[in-house]
Each structure stands twice: as structure tokens, then as C-alpha cells.
Amino acid sequence: MSKTSCIPHNDAGKGKLLERVAKTLPKYQILFEISNEDMGTLQGDALSFPFANDLQNLAQSFAHNCTAFRNQLRDGGSGDVNWPVAPNFSANQPPVSAPGVIQRLSTLIARIKAHKNYTTAIGQDLQIIGTEIILDPSSWKPVVTVQYEAGQLIVGWKKGQASAIEIWADRGDGNGFVFFTINTEPDTLDNTPLPAAGSGVTWQYKAIYRLHDKRVGQWSDVVSIKAVS
């Protein structure tokens, strides 16, 4: 079963993971044959990047206070009016790391996981194991749109984790829904000749996802459009 990346999406989470690995890895340094230089780089990154996050948060807070002060000074209002106090960015400032902190962390984690001495227990201790991705194709239901773009009829949809989508169309000819196409990449161009102007024919579409060449999930809601040439 596949897993998500152990690297968090947000910067605060990235900083916490850096700190966790830097704090925990020294006891495995010899086991994974990590040099003192690489360990020192990791320790420096674990100080530098979280501090950069703190700087940004302080700067954003100061900017918010400056805006509130400016607005009160301009428009009036209750409360004391004092110049906003700028944060002291130099307090406990660590040395600046070289650019590429998270790329170095990713490379180090990959190196650890590929090592012959790596175990799941160690991965859990370092918190470098992603969560399992559980697929439930039975719940998949495509959201389909249909519109004209530059005079062409486009059936819009998103792929998600499916392999493809199967689209059926009702051309208003009394045959009901019939198979139209299977498409592996959004969106789908419908080149079927359009009825003559003024015919008032409505075309309808529905679709269902496919995974490993089989239908999965539920049919989409039906969408419709006036088909005019």
C-alpha cells in the first residue's frame, strides 16, 4: 500500500520535522554511517528554518499592527494610540543555512530509508514514515461540466486518482444514452457534428471513472447543453 510523503505540506510542519530528525538522529548516526559534517548541517538547518518561520510570523504580526495603527490614526477610534513596536529580529538569531534546507532533509531521509540498517521502528522514532493512502474507488463520483469554448463543445472533468473516465451522451435523437468515449486526460472535446441552428436539441452527458480498465464508483450527475452549430 502506498504512503504519503513524510514531509509536511506547510512550513511549520517542515520545521517541526527538521527539529525532530535533528534531535533524534544522533543516536543512529553510527548505525547509518552519517558523517559529522552532515550531522552538523542538519543541526544548523533545524535551527535556521524554524527561526525563518518565526521571523515571517513576527513580520506578519507587525505588518498587521502597523495597518491597524495607520487606520486608527487616519479614521479615528477608541483606544490608546502608540507607535507599533517593531520585533527584535536579532534575538537568538542562529547562523543562516545554505539554501535548500528541505531538499537536503528529503535527500537525507531517502538515504536513511535505503540503508541496510533501516527499520520501521527507527522510521517511526524519527517520524519519517508517511501515512497510508487508502483508496476507496467505490465512493468516486466524477463532477462533469459541459460548455462551449472557442466554438467547440468541451466536456470538463478532473482525473483525481482514476485511470480514465468513461463518458456517455444522449443526443436527443430518441436513442437515450449511448457510449461516447473513454478518455485518460481531462478535458474531452466532443467533435460530433452539431445539429442545425434552431433545432432546439439538447445534448446530455454522464460519466463514470475507470481504474485498471474497470468501471468504479458512481455515475456523475447528468449535465446538459443546447447543441447548436
Contact 190, 183 (CB under 8 A): no
Q: Which residues contact 68 (CB under 8 A, 6 or more apart)?
A: none
Contact 206, 184 (CB under 8 A): no
The beta-strand segments (E) located in the chain are 145-149, 152-156, 164-170, 178-183, 188-190, 202-211, 214-216, 223-226
Give pLDDT tens digits for 27-47.
Answer: 999 999 999 999 999 999 999
∠ CA 194-200-201, nearest 5°, is 50
**Distance of alpha carbon 100 from alpha carbon 97, whole angstroms:** 9
Give pLDDT tens digits for 154-170.
Answer: 999 999 989 999 999 99
| Residue 89 scores a pLDDT above 90 | no
Instruction: State the pTM of this model.
Output: 0.59
Q: Which residues contact 131 (CB under 8 A, 6 or more apart)?
A: 3, 4
What confidence category does residue 133 fall into, taking pLDDT thresholds of 50, 70 and 90? low
